[in-house]
Amino acid sequence: MNFINIAGHLGADPEVRYTSSGKKVTTLRVATRTRKAGNDDTIWWRVSVWGEQFDKMMTYLKKGSPVVVFGELQKPEIFTDREGKPQVSMEINASLIQFSPFGKPEREGQATHAAPAAVAAPAAPFGQPDASVMNPYMKGSSAPGQTFDDEVPF
């Protein structure tokens, strides 16, 4: 498998479709920009999101929204556009989507598609530790995560 991480802006609002078997697939069109020798080049990516894993986030994504996508890169397809030029279609099956901290606001003084903190921050891969459960190796410590050298068990 080939995994890739891209950061760019949505070229259109997310599109939701359903397969004939009833599976939900949301498609994002993401534009990334590269600059080589003073020339700007845009690469368009088709990002497929299978199921409902990012549904809460999708309500905040609109055309122009900055996003970061991590996922499996599919084999590129070459096709001929309307002008007869060969083009490459790049597709990613998303594993993780995040709001990008690098997006530009649409207007001065306006935040870029602000989202609630609970939706904006992705969960840790294995969850967050429960703060109410005390760590036996941190006896006497009042602050979570604080430890002392004489309490280290090795």
**Each residue's pLDDT tens digit, 67-88:** 999 999 998 888 888 888 888 8
Rounded distance between C-alpha atoms, residue 89 and residue 19, angstroms: 21
SS3 assignment, position 63: coil
Q: What is the mean pLDDT of residues 48-60?
A: 89
pLDDT in tens, 91-137: 999 999 998 877 665 544 444 444 444 344 444 444 455 555 555 54
Sign of the Cα pseudo-torsion (122, 111, 90, 52, in order): positive
Rounded distance between C-alpha atoms, residue 8 and residue 93, angstroms: 16
Collect all residues with Cβ–Cβ distance below 8 Å to 133 and sequence separation of at least 6.
Answer: none
Rounded distance between C-alpha atoms, residue 59 and residue 114, angstroms: 11
pLDDT higher than 50, residue 44: yes
To the question of pTM greater than 0.85 for the whole model, the response is: no
pLDDT higher than 90, residue 4: yes
CATH of span 3-138: 2.40.50.140
pLDDT higher than 60, residue 150: no
3 vs 133, more confident = 3
Rounded distance between C-alpha atoms, residue 22 and residue 67, angstroms: 27
pLDDT > 90 in the chain, percent: 36
